[in-house]
Amino acid sequence: VQAEGKNVLTIEGVAKGDDLHPMQEAFRENHALQCGFCTPGMVMSALDLVKNNANPSDKEIREYLEGNLCRCTGYHNIVLAIKAGAASMRGEAPAKTPAAAE
């Protein structure tokens, strides 16, 4: 009932055709994916965060993701991915990280 008449964006609507959204690409490049169960929620939360804060700090990212649980991995590469995705969305080249350099 709350979504009636509203537009709802899901992970399926983020990519444009065969091209990943910059945030999705950043998750791939920074090895922020494991089993895939939490990935859609992480990406959608990241997009919402970056919509309101184009250059979030590590602390801000970690606080924003408190409601997203991942049992496969720590959040280190997820934070790196969000920073890289945010940079790409700002039109900047993402900083090379150890994960991305591998």
Q: Is 25 exposed, middle or buried (0-12, 13-18, 19+ CB in 10 A)?
A: middle
Question: What is the average pLDDT value for the chain, to the nearest integer?
Answer: 91
d(CA 30, CA 82) in angstroms, rounded, equals 9
**Is it the case that residue 28 has pLDDT exceeding 60?**
yes
Asked if the 22-101 domain carries CATH number 1.20.58.710, the reply is no
pLDDT tier for residue 7 given thresholds of 50, 70 and 90: very high
Is residue 99 within 8 Å of 80, Cβ to Cβ? Answer: yes
As beta bridge partners, residue 19 has 16
Give the closest residue to 75 by CA, choosing from 92, 87, 63: 63
**Is it the case that residue 66 has pLDDT exceeding 60?**
yes
Global pTM reads: 0.86
Where do runs of H (alpha helix) occur along the chain?
22-29, 39-52, 58-64, 76-89, 98-101
Segments making up each domain of the chain, as ranges:
22-101
Residues 40-62 have pLDDT tens digits of 999 999 999 999 999 999 999 99
